[in-house]
Every structure is written in C-alpha cells, then in structure tokens.
Structure 1
Amino acid sequence: MLSGIRVISFTHFLQGPSASQILADLGADVIKVEPHGGAFERNWTAPGRFIEGESPFFALGNRNVRSIVIDLKHEQSAEVLRDLLADADVLIESFRPGTLDRLGLGFDVLHELNPRLVYASLSGYGTSGPYVDRPGQDVLLQALSGLAAATGRAGQDPTPVGACVVDQHAAVLGALGILAALHGRERTGRGVKVESNLLNAALDLQIEPLTYALNGFEPERSAEGISSAFYKAPYGVFATADGHLCISLTTTAALARVFDDEWFATIAPADEWEQRDTINARVADHVRRRSTAEWEAHFTTEKMWFAPVQDYDAVIADPQVLHNDSFDEYQHPRAGTLRVLKHAVTYDGVRPGIRTPPPELGEQTREVLAGLGYSDHAIDALIESKALA
C-alpha cells in the first residue's frame, strides 16, 4: 500500500525503528541511515545475550528496510544527504531534539529543499519545553505519566508494566501521524512536520483513567488487587487452586449465581463502589478453592468475562494467537532461524510479512547511492574518505 513511498530513517532504540518498520511492512522503501559501527540496537539486547552475535533487539524492528552508513558530521556527507532527501517522501528521526538542526538537517532547511517532505520527529517529551533535555526512556515515562503509580495494590510500591508499552504506542502514533500527513499531502502538495513523543503516548495509553481524574474523580488503588483505581469489583487477577485467572466486569447478581453465594445479592448497586474491596476479597476466596481448568469450564458455561493468565510460553502456543498468524521467521546466515512478531494489522485478511530480513550494516550503501546517480568511482571515493561505509 505504500509502494513508491521513500522513507529516510535516522532512528535508533525502539520507538523510531518500530515506527519505521510499520511503514516498511506496508511497502515503503525505508532507508536506515546508520553511523560507523551501526545503530545502537545492533549492539544491545535487554538480557545481555545475543544469538550467534546477532541482537534480537535489532531483529524486532528493522525488517524490510535497507541500511546505509553515513557519517553525518563528515564534510563530504552533506551533499549525499541532500541528494538522498531531495525527492524523499518522509524523514523520520529519533535523535534528541535539535540534533538534526545542528547538522543542517532541520525541518525549515529540508522543507525549502523538498516542500513535499513529511518530517517526523520522535522524542521523549517533545521538541521544546522544560523536559526537552531529559533522557526519554519507557520506564521513566511510565513513572512520570502516572502509569506506574496507577498499577499495583494500595500500600505497595508503584508497579511499571512488564513491557515497553510506551515506546511501542509512541511508534504506532508516529506512524499514524506520518500516514495522515502523506494523505494530507495528496490534497495540498505540501509536507508537514509530525511529532510524536513518549510522554504524549504514555498519557494516551491512559485515556480513560486520566479523563476521570481530569473531571474530579479521585483514584483509589485497591488493597485487594482490583486492577484499576476507578473500576468496581471484580476486576483483575485471582489465584486459583493451581494458577491464576483474570475476571472482568461481572455484576453482583451474576456473582451470586456463578458462585452459588447469596451474599453477593445483598449488595445494592449503589453500594458496589464502597464495597468493592470486600466484594473482590470474597470472589478471591471462592476462586482459590478450585483449579484453573474447573473455573474455565464453569465460567465459559456461565458466560463470565474471564481469561487465563498465560506466561509467554502459553501465549506463543495459544490457539487464537496462532490462528491470527501472529509470528513470522527468517533465516539468518549466522544466527539461524529467528522468530519475530508480524505486523499487527490485517489487510484483506492478510498480515504483511518479511520481504527482506534486517539488513547487514551498510548492506545497501552502494545500491542506494547508485540509485541516486552516483558512479562507482564517486562511491569508492566517498567510502575511502570515511564519509560513507
């Protein structure tokens, strides 16, 4: 769907590469500009372990893209960069705010060079403001945005989410903004500057609880493990005799029937909020008496809103996850078979897959420059000068 759209990606870590990969999955020609030595994510992985020297962190966000190596500070790279961007459709960058401006690649300069260019900046807090120089990283934004404080039991420490949800949501919002700008350009002929940042993404993830808070409702974390400061019981994870189940949004009348316990029916609807911890505790007492499988069968019959609490091994084998065709794999010359998540959206029932695996560092430097009209001699000279690699 994005065939014919060229994206120049100055990105690293997770937010930027993931946003670029979304566009690449949709058919855009994404050219990843890397420094000598490669982008950060080539040389880092959260567990500190690599697969035959290859980073799974790089594998998760760089499929379907091409890699070139350019020293952005080298005096001979300026002309190459201008040629690269002169007829590009999108520039996407995730440097600290102001970095590309200092390199002569700011929005105003490039918009004069290429008025149709959509210029997307992905940052931690935005491109201006009191926090502009702070480090932007997922768990830091979970803390700052209130997400960590909203998670966990009353009286216990705030609890960050166990995945980089802010990074990934910011990436999706960035890609959404780019697609909107490309659509708008079809009418106006003019590219615009798109900005997505981790702080906005973290707030957007909390659209419901923050709306309550903005309108005067006081959040109250539950001592009994209700998973939202604004929801009635039962809502959250409960221990069974041999595992855990999650239960959501069930009336007290239904609870009385499901658990054969008339106590629940004595709670008036107007009192459900005040009694939510008591209700949750009583549900927990019932649930812990039987096995997960027994409750799954019973809850299914009773049409309860529930789900098993699965670890990653169970998720990977889950029949609905597999039915949705959620995973892909490719053969790496050194690491062997690498498995990754697919693009999350289907189009006419198909999820875009891997056209090309994540590239070797600078694998397409010659190919890209040749496409810009550079001769072999000129490319050799630039590589010899260390402007490119």
Structure 2
Amino acid sequence: MLSGTRVVSFTHFLQGPSATQILGDLGADVIKIEPPQGAFERGWSGPDAFVGGVSVFFLLANRNARSMVVDLKSDDGRRVLRRLLDGADVLIESFRPGVMDRLGLGYEELRTTNPRLVYCSLSGYGSEGPYKDRPGQDVLVQSLSGLAAATGAAGGPPTPVGASVVDAHGAALGALGILAALHGRARTGEGTRVESNLLSAALDLQVEPLSYHLNGFRGERSPSGVSSRFYKAPYGVFATADGYLTISLTGTDLLAKVLDDPWFTGVAPADEYARREEVNVRVAALLAEHPTAYWIERFTEFRVWHAPVHDFDDVATDPQVRHNETILTIPHPEAGDVRVPAHPIRYGGERPGLRRVPPALGEHTREVLGELGCSPADVDALVAGGAFGAQS
C-alpha cells in the first residue's frame, strides 16, 4: 500500500523502529540510518537473547528495511543525507528533542528544500516542556503515567505491565500520524510535522479509567484482586483447584445459576459495584473447589465471559493464533529461523509479508549511494573517507 514511498529512519530502541517497521510492512522503502557502530538495538537484547550472535531485540522491529551507515558528525555524511532527504517522503526520528536540529536535520531546515516531507518525531515526553530532556523509557513512563499505580491488588506495590506496552502503542500512534499526514499531503501537496511521545501514548492507553477519574469517580485498587478500579466483580483472574481462570463482567443473577449459589440473588444489580468485594470473595471461594476444565465447561454452557490463563508456550500453540498466522518466521542468514509477531492487520484478507530480513549493518549503503547518482568511483571515495562505515 505504501509502495513508492521512501522513509528515512533515524530511530533506535523500540518505539521508533517498531513504528518504522509498520510502514515497511506496508511496502514503504525504509532506509535505516545507522552510526558506524550500529544502532543500539543491535548490541542489546532483554535477557541477553542473541541467536547466532544476532540480537532478537533488533530482529523483532527492523524487518522490511535497508541499512545505511552514516556518520552524522561528518560533513560528507550530512551532505549526502540532505540529498537523500530532499527526495524522501517521510523522515522518522526518535532522538531526544533538539538533537536533529543540532545536526542540521531539523524540520524547519529540511522543509525549505523539501516542503512535501512528512517529518515524524517520537520522544519520551514531547519536544518541549519540563520533561523534554528526561530519558524516555517504557517502564519509567508506566510509573509516571499512573499505569503502574493502577495495577495490582490493594496493599501491594505498584506493578508495571509485563510488556513494553507503551512503546508498542507509541509506535502505532506514530505510524498512524504519518499515514494521516501522507493522506493530507495527497490533497494539499504539503508535508507537515508529526509528533508523538511515550507519555501521551501511556495516557491514551488509559483513556477509560483516566476519564472516569477526571470526572469525579475515584475508584480504588481492590484488596480481593478485582483487576480494575472501576469495574464490578467478578472481573479478573481467579484460582481454581488446579490453575487459574479469568472471568469478565458477569451479573449476579447469572452467577447464582452458573455457580449454583442463591447468595448472589441477594445482591441487586444496582449494588453490584458497591458490593464488589463481597462478590469477588464469594466467587473466589467457589472457583477454588473445582479444576479449571470443570469451570470452562460450565461457563461455556452458560455463556459466561471467561478465558484460560495462557503462558507464552500456550499462546504459541493456541489454535486461534495459529489460524490467524500471527507468528512470522524470519529466515535470517546468520540467526537461522527466528519467530516474531507478524504485522497485526490484514488487508483484503492478506497479511503483509516479509520482503527483507532485518539487514546487516550498512548492508545497503553502497546501493543507496548509487541510487543518489554517485558513480562507483564516488562511492569508493566516500566510503574511504570514513563517513559511511568501514563495512559498507
């Protein structure tokens, strides 16, 4: 869908590369600009997860892209980059605010020679304001945004979510903003600047509970483990005789039937929120009497909203996950077959596929220089000058 759209990416860590990968999945020609030592994510991976010496953290967010090594402090490097950016459709960057301006690659500078450029900046907190120079990282923003404080049982510590959900949502918002700007440019002929940040993404993730709170509804974390401060019980994870099961939004009239307990008929629908701790404790005691399989069969019969609690081994073999083809296998020349989540959306019944494996450092530097009109001799001279990496 984005075939013919050139995206130049100055991104690192997770938010920026993930946003860029969405565009690459959709067919854009993504050129990842890397320093001579390589992007951060090439040398780091959460649990030291390297396959064949290749970072899984790099592999999960850099497919369908080309890699070009450029020393951004080099005059030759910046000069060639300006030529590349003068013909680009999109620039996406995730440096701290002010870095691109200091390099002479800020939006106001570039728009003078390429007014059609869509310029996307992804940061931790925004390009201005008191936090603009703070390190923007997922778990820090989960804490700052109230997400960690909202998670877990009353009396327990604030609990971050067990995944980089803010990075992932920030990436999706960045890609959404770029697509909107490209659509607007098709009508006006003018590019624009797009900005998103992790703090805004974290608050957007909490649009429902935050809206309740801002309008005077002050929910508290539940001592009995209700998963939300603002929902009636039962809502959350309950222990069974041999495992766990999640129940969602089931009225007391139905609970009386499915749990075969007339106590629930004494809780009027209007009192379900006020008495949610009583309901939760009662449900928890009853579920502990039978194994998970028993409750799944019973809840299915009564059409109670429920789900088993899966770990990642269960997820990888789940029949719906397999049917949806949600896991993509990347045949990497060094790492071998690597499995990662695929592009999450289908278009016309088809999911975007793998056009390029995540690239080696500087793999396409010479190729891109040739596309900019440099002769082989010019390319050799530029590389020899050191601005484009010894491995190019």
Relative to the length of structure 2, the TM-score reads: 0.98
Matched, 1:102 2:102: yes
Report the counterpart of residue 314 of structure 1 in structure 2: 314
Displacement of 1:330: 2.2
Matches within 5 A, 1:1-389: 1-389=1-389
Deviation string, structure 1 residues 198-236 (Cα, Å, up to 9, x no partner): 000000000000100110110211001101001110000
Displacement of 1:166: 0.1
**Whole-angstrom distance in 1 between the partners of 2:78 and 2:140:** 35
Specify the code of the residue in structure 2 equivalent to 1:289. Answer: E
SS at match of 2:183: helix
**Whole-angstrom distance in 1 between the partners of 2:217 and 2:335:** 52
**Whole-angstrom distance in 2 between the partners of 1:275 and 1:143:** 29
Displacement of 1:270: 2.2
**Whole-angstrom distance in 2 between the partners of 1:334 and 1:72:** 28
SS at match of 1:76: helix
Specify the code of the residue in structure 2 equivalent to 1:306. Answer: H
**Whole-angstrom distance in 2 between the partners of 1:64 and 1:231:** 42
Deviation string, structure 1 residues 66-102 (Cα, Å, up to 9, x no partner): 0000000012112101111011000000000000000
**Whole-angstrom distance in 2 between the partners of 1:166 and 1:344:** 17
- Unpaired stretches in structure 2, ≥5 consecutive residues: none
**Whole-angstrom distance in 2 between the partners of 1:190 and 1:334:** 42
> In terms of mean alpha carbon deviation, does 365-374 or 266-275 score higher?
266-275
Deviation string, structure 1 residues 307-363 (Cα, Å, up to 9, x no partner): 000000000000001111101112222221111111000001111121110000000
**Whole-angstrom distance in 2 between the partners of 1:331 and 1:194:** 34
**Whole-angstrom distance in 2 between the partners of 1:310 and 1:330:** 24
**Whole-angstrom distance in 2 between the partners of 1:187 and 1:333:** 42
**Whole-angstrom distance in 1 between the partners of 2:240 and 2:350:** 38
Q: Identity rate of aligned residues, in percent?
A: 64
Flag as ranges the 4+ runs of structure 1 deviating above 4 A.
none
> In terms of mean alpha carbon deviation, does 129-138 or 266-275 score higher?
266-275
SS at match of 2:41: helix
Specify the code of the residue in structure 2 equivalent to 1:193. Answer: R
**Whole-angstrom distance in 2 between the partners of 1:384 and 1:198:** 39
Displacement of 1:40: 0.4
**Whole-angstrom distance in 2 between the partners of 1:210 and 1:129:** 22
**Whole-angstrom distance in 2 between the partners of 1:291 and 1:376:** 70
**Whole-angstrom distance in 2 between the partners of 1:77 and 1:270:** 67
**Whole-angstrom distance in 1 between the partners of 2:64 and 2:350:** 17
Displacement of 1:268: 1.5
Deviation string, structure 1 residues 121-179 (Cα, Å, up to 9, x no partner): 00000000000010000000000000000000011101100000000000000000000
Is the CA contact (8 Å cut-off) linking 2:327 and 2:342 kept in structure 1?
A: yes
**Whole-angstrom distance in 1 between the partners of 2:274 and 2:182:** 50
Relative to the length of structure 1, the TM-score reads: 0.99
What is the total number of aligned residue pairs between the two structures?
389
Displacement of 1:269: 1.9
**Whole-angstrom distance in 1 between the partners of 2:312 and 2:33:** 33
Displacement of 1:49: 3.1
Specify the code of the residue in structure 1 equivalent to 2:260. Answer: D
SS at match of 2:366: helix
SS at match of 1:307: strand
